[in-house]
Amino acid sequence: MSTLPIVQIRTTPSLLSIDANPGQFSIRQPKADVQLNTRPAKLSIESHPIRLSVDQSEAFSAYTGGNMIDMNARIYSGIQQMFLQNLGERVQQGNDLAAIHKPGNTIANIIGGDWQARPFPETRTPASSGNVKTRVYTQPPDISFTPAVSEMNVTVNKPEIEYQRGKLDIYVKQYASIQYTPPAIDIGL
């Protein structure tokens, strides 16, 4: 009996080689630029001087009689008063003389007591602690205030992004192959 010849087929698969490195990102963000400007607060105070007013005219009037116009007015007014008072006394003396029949109303009693001199009218005003008048004039200070002002300017810098590509090498490490091995033929006749 004879055997059938067998053809041998041998295959080799293809082998791919992949060598890859990933890419790299580089991100750098510069700091923001900040400018801060501040105008300081301003306080302004302007004070006004204090004024003092002293009126001593009534005190001088009590010491010396004051100015001539006022002194003459007081003398004139005092003489008027004295005249009216003397006139009243003379009328009373006349009335007492008319009633001579009453006991004690003698001429010596009525006219004898009228021998003293009358004082001249007072030329000065009465002395008093209120004769000197003082006044203090004050004025509140002028105050102006300007508040501080701050200005901030921010400049944001964009990020700087760099990318370095990685490598990707693909190559065939082994090619696919097919190998046929025919059977050995025995020619034996």
Degrees to nearest 5, angle at CA 99 with 93 and 102: 115
Q: Can you tell me the distance from the alpha carbon of 50 to that of 134, in angstroms, rounded to the nearest whole number? A: 13
Question: Distance of alpha carbon 58 from its chain centroid, rounded?
Answer: 47
pTM of this prediction? 0.37
DSSP H helices, the chain, are 57-64, 68-98, 107-111
Structure tokens at 146: 């300007």
**For 41-64, how does the pLDDT look when each residue is reduced to its tens digit (9 = 90+)?**
999 999 999 999 998 888 888 878
Q: Can you tell me the distance from the alpha carbon of 108 to that of 97, in angstroms, rounded to the nearest whole number? A: 10
Q: How far is CA 110 from CA 88, 92, 95, 105, 117, in A?
A: 14, 9, 10, 6, 16
pLDDT of residue 125: 80
Question: Quick one: CA dihedral 69, 70, 75, 78, positive or negative?
Answer: positive
Using DSSP's 3-state secondary structure scheme, residue 81 falls into: helix
Within 10 angstroms of residue 120's Cβ, the number of other Cβ atoms is: 10
| Residue with tokens 């009216």, as numbered in its chain | 84
Strand partners, 140: none
Side chain identity at residue 124, one-letter code? R
**For 97-143, how does the pLDDT look when each residue is reduced to its tens digit (9 = 90+)?**
788 777 776 776 767 666 677 777 777 888 888 888 999 999 999 99
pLDDT of residue 141: 92
**For 133-167, how does the pLDDT look when each residue is reduced to its tens digit (9 = 90+)?**
999 999 999 999 999 998 989 998 898 889 888 88
Q: Can you tell me the distance from the alpha carbon of 89 to that of 63, in angstroms, rounded to the nearest whole number? A: 32
Query: For residue 173, what is the DSSP state?
Result: E
pLDDT of residue 113: 67
Q: Can you tell me the distance from the alpha carbon of 28 to that of 91, in angstroms, rounded to the nearest whole number? A: 127
pLDDT of residue 2: 59
Q: Can you tell me the distance from the alpha carbon of 89 to that of 100, in angstroms, rounded to the nearest whole number? A: 17
